[in-house]
Amino acid sequence: MPGADKETDLSERIESFLSELKRCGSGAGSLRGSAETARETTALLRRTTAQARWGNAGELMEIIRKEGRRMTAAQPSETTVGNMVRRVLKIIREEYARSRGSSEETDQQESLHKLLTSGGSSEDNFRQHFAHLKANVIEAINELLTELEGTTDNISMQALEHIHSNEVIMTIGRSRTVEAFLKDAARKRKFHVIVAECAPFCQGHEMATSLCKEDIETTVIPDAAIFAVMSRVNKVIIGTQTVLANGGLRAVNGTHTLALAAKHHSTPLIVCAPMFKLSPQFPNEEDTFHKFVSPHEVLPFTEGNVTQQHLTPFSTLKTEIVNKFRKKKLTQK
């Protein structure tokens, strides 16, 4: 009976998480931060590992894949969910390999060799049962969670290397990573920040207020003035929603304009992205790639019968525009 209770409790949590994902952004200003989503996804996956019934690594991976598919289907534009699921799957594979006793490289070599010779899938590798696999996987997921907590701090530690005194930095919209980055640099350096407001949600205003509290000189400019002001800017630092597999970005609306203006003036563009934003997806389908929200921010409902109206919170940046990526200092696995 307690097992059944746990399972229903688990499915309740998953259901409520899914509904929250589906409903997220019902008011455009209240978009949930990706860090929170990543943390909740990982916590949910850890709970699934602990409470679901599975005998070997293969079964566990199936369960996680199934849940992962449901979560990504709920809100396809929220890529952090998919990223964390893939990381957890990778953790499971590694722990399995470690339990078997073979090291990582030889295992890979073996499986490639196996692919060439036998041509069968390496799925049967995961069928062995190990007693401590569960504990190991949970421990590794805990480590992942700690990494998640510290990722913004890691980026902020590099701030002093990039921002020098009396520089003019430009940014757009509101990114918690960039905010922490700038605040960290402000402790030792004096510089000026220009924030593009990023209509129609105008998140730039909130960013500016928050920076002002730390005594950073901030100016808010409308999106149309980006090009005009760019000649006076030393660096452009932006955050992003996702980093795509080809190096492109999916960032907030208006970033493309900013990046083109920076390229024209040969201003360096720095992207601050924590590790859970790296996604293996490619920007293939132009049509269905974007998320569209209610048009009432642009033209209110009362304006009558408007035939066509679209409002998308994100825009895509091509690879070539981005010069530098600043992720956490440790090398990626």
Q: Does residue 308 interact with other proteins by CB under 8 A?
A: yes
Q: Does residue 312 interact with other proteins by CB under 8 A?
A: no
Shortest distance (Å) from residue 293 CB to other proteins = 5
Shortest distance (Å) from residue 9 CB to other proteins = 9
Q: Choose which of 117, 118, 166, 305 interacts with other proteins (CB under 8 A).
A: 305
Chain residues 18-47 in contact with other proteins, contact rule CB under 8 A: 19, 22-27
Q: Take residue 326 and report the two structure tokens written for it.
A: 């600043």
Shortest distance (Å) from residue 40 CB to other proteins = 16
Name the nearest CA neighbour of 61 among 182, 314, 69, 318: 69
Q: Choose which of 120, 284, 304, 331 interacts with other proteins (CB under 8 A).
A: 304
Q: Choose which of 111, 300, 320, 324 interacts with other proteins (CB under 8 A).
A: 300
Shortest distance (Å) from residue 67 CB to other proteins = 14
Q: Yes or no: say if 54 and 153 are a contact pair by the CB < 8 Å rule.
A: no
Binding mask 230-269 for other proteins (x = CB under 8 A): ----------------------------------------
Give whole-number Cα distances, 269 to 151, 241, 259, 263, in Å. 21, 16, 7, 8
Q: Take residue 281 and report the two structure tokens written for it.
A: 């997806």
Written as one letter, the residue type at 52 is A
Q: Does residue 120 interact with other proteins by CB under 8 A?
A: no
Name the nearest CA neighbour of 255 among 195, 172, 326: 172
Q: Choose which of 93, 114, 192, 296 interacts with other proteins (CB under 8 A).
A: 296
Shortest distance (Å) from residue 149 CB to other proteins = 29
HSE, side-chain direction, 13 A CA sphere, residue 234: 11
Q: What is the rounded distance in angstroms from the CA atom of residue 201 to the CA atom of residue 27?
A: 10
DSSP state of 33: P
Name the nearest CA neighbour of 74 among 33, 18, 119, 34: 18
Q: Choose which of 86, 145, 295, 298 interacts with other proteins (CB under 8 A).
A: 295
For 22, other C-beta atoms within 10 Å of its C-beta total 12
Say whether the peptide bond before residue 295 is cis (omega within 30 degrees of 0): no
State the Rg of the chain over Cα. 23
Shortest distance (Å) from residue 261 CB to other proteins = 26
The kind and range of the H/E element at 63 are helix 57-74
Shortest distance (Å) from residue 157 CB to other proteins = 37
Chain residues 62-101 in contact with other proteins, contact rule CB under 8 A: 73
Please measure the distance between the N-terminal and C-terminal CA atoms of the chain and give it in whole angstroms: 41
Considering only 35-43, 128-136, 206-214, 308-316, which stretch makes contact with other proteins by CB under 8 A?
A: 308-316
Shortest distance (Å) from residue 26 CB to other proteins = 5
For 11, other C-beta atoms within 10 Å of its C-beta total 14
Considering only 98-106, 120-128, 202-210, 290-298, which stretch makes contact with other proteins by CB under 8 A?
A: 290-298
Residues contributing to the site for other proteins (CB under 8 A)? 8, 11-12, 14-16, 19, 22-27, 73, 287-288, 292-296, 300-302, 304-305, 307-310
